[in-house]
A = this chain, B = another copy of it.
Amino acid sequence: MRDFLPADKTRRERVLAVIRERYRAHGFDEIETPVLEEYGRLHAGIGGDNEKLAFNILKRGLDADAVRAAADGPALDVAALADLGLRYDLTVPLARFYATHRAALPSVFRSIQIAPVWRAERPQKGRYRQFVQCDIDIIGDASARAEAELIVASLDALDALGLEGGSIRINDRRLLDAMLDVFGFAAEERPGVLITIDKLDKIGPTGVAAELRERGATAAAVDAFEQFLAGVAGGEDRPFGEDQIRASLPEGVPDEIIAHLVGLGETVAAARGGGVETPLVFDPFLVRGMGYYTGTIFELAHPSVGYSLGGGGRYDGMIGRFLGQDVAAVGFSIGFERIVDLLAASDAADAASVVLVHDRDVPVSELLAHKAAFVASGARVRLEQRTKNLKGLLERASNDGYTAFALLPAGATPGEVEVKPLG
């Protein structure tokens, strides 16, 4: 977990403001849920591996007997010690929120959630135990329209941040399933097979085939899959259209899933305008980790980095678990921490910001009158008592985003001091 000093915090808030403004422009509505959810809800099986990483809140008013009882069973009874936990994602809270407030929301609800989540990971580079997620979700629309709105809004937010040229890698969980079926993998071995396929970028087709054999997956299926991989896999991007999609898949996958993807591509193209290349890439081996995805899945890529800047997908089954009926849902999560790191070099200074440097003997009421005059003119103002090292003082102010300074002699009239540019 990290402290953020002023320069970092300012940059974070600027990026959040841009994302929030763009998502609002696209008709999404921001909501907020408490950071604490009930222990049972966080451990209901829909959080995947993240459930094990939840920070749990000790019950208030526990007595020694209750604590001893929690320890005396065959395994430690955490649920007897903890009744709440910090959320590990924004999807479980959204499902709970929607089930609670459905009647007060539009029939197609487009939500924004910009908020921290917590995971008790072992500290390692690039992984934080508290980090911000920026999620948009559309609940109540099972069509490609919802997926297109998410993709277009996400690309627009990226553009607005100065990260033009983003693209979206797309697949469909049902295509993966159909593909594994075509090759002859048994239903019960498919989750493990997908975990291995997810490593294709790292270990290549040969590595994938070797790991599948190690897993003891059906040998004939592995052979068929290896042969297919040799034909289509590779680092090259696939343009997005019916022919390209078909060419990247084995014979026998259902036409309607391909048609859905083709329609999605046309919709995104229409929304982005005729002159712009459609920023979609079909990736038949894109898996996405979470088990709850049920259809289209996507990842946000940018030419400047090798890793994904966000992703999401359709998860039609999950919201319904809290409601007792099926509800269509699809979400897109921007990797805020990665984007902030990427933008670190592009800081902007405040438009009008002045450091007022004064001698020790200027009366305090004069100082505040000077400051008030600058604040009233629309500037950001910091008072600094002059030190022997004036140059050092001004350099620090410049680093803090100030663009101008003025030296305040005693007796000057507020609003009539000379302002000079910094640096």
- Quickly give the copy total for this chain: 2
Q: Binary interface profile of A, 340-377, with partner B (CB < 8 Å = 1, else 0)?
A: 00000000001000000000000011111101100100
Would you call A32 and B58 a contact (CB within 8 A)?
Answer: no
Would you call A368 and B71 a contact (CB within 8 A)?
Answer: no
Complex contacts, A152 vs chain B, CB 8 Å? 368, 372
With most chain B CB atoms within 10 A of its CB, the pick from A3, A108, A269, A271 is A271
The answer, yes or no, to whether A196 is at the interface (CB within 8 Å) is: no
The answer, yes or no, to whether A200 is at the interface (CB within 8 Å) is: no
A368 to B78, CA, bound (A): 49
Q: Which residue of B lies closest to A29 (CB)?
A: B6
Would you call A27 and B371 a contact (CB within 8 A)?
Answer: yes
Would you call B271 and A36 a contact (CB within 8 A)?
Answer: no
Q: Binary interface profile of A, 26-63, with partner B (CB < 8 Å = 1, else 0)?
A: 11011111111000000000000000000111101011
Q: How far is the CB of A29 from chain B (nearest CB, A)?
A: 4
Q: How far is the CB of A57 from chain B (nearest CB, A)?
A: 5
The answer, yes or no, to whether A228 is at the interface (CB within 8 Å) is: no
A56 to B36, CA, bound (A): 12
The answer, yes or no, to whether A326 is at the interface (CB within 8 Å) is: no
Q: How far is the CB of A130 from chain B (nearest CB, A)?
A: 5
A368 to B365, CA, bound (A): 58
Complex contacts, A202 vs chain B, CB 8 Å? none
Q: How far is the CB of A222 from chain B (nearest CB, A)?
A: 37
Contacts known (A9-B32, A56-B58); A271 close to B365, Cβ less than 8 A: yes
Would you call A34 and B371 a contact (CB within 8 A)?
Answer: no
Complex contacts, A101 vs chain B, CB 8 Å? 3, 5
Extra pairs beyond A27-B371, A267-B365 (5, CB < 8 Å): A25-B381, A27-B383, A34-B129, A145-B368, A263-B365
18 contacts between A and B (CB under 8 A): A1-B34, A3-B33, A3-B101, A5-B101, A9-B29, A12-B32, A35-B35, A35-B118, A64-B76, A67-B70, A68-B71, A68-B72, A108-B384, A145-B367, A145-B368, A149-B383, A271-B368, A273-B369
Top 5 A-B residue pairs of the complex, sorted by shortest distance between their CB atoms: A271-B368, A270-B365, A27-B382, A6-B29, A1-B34
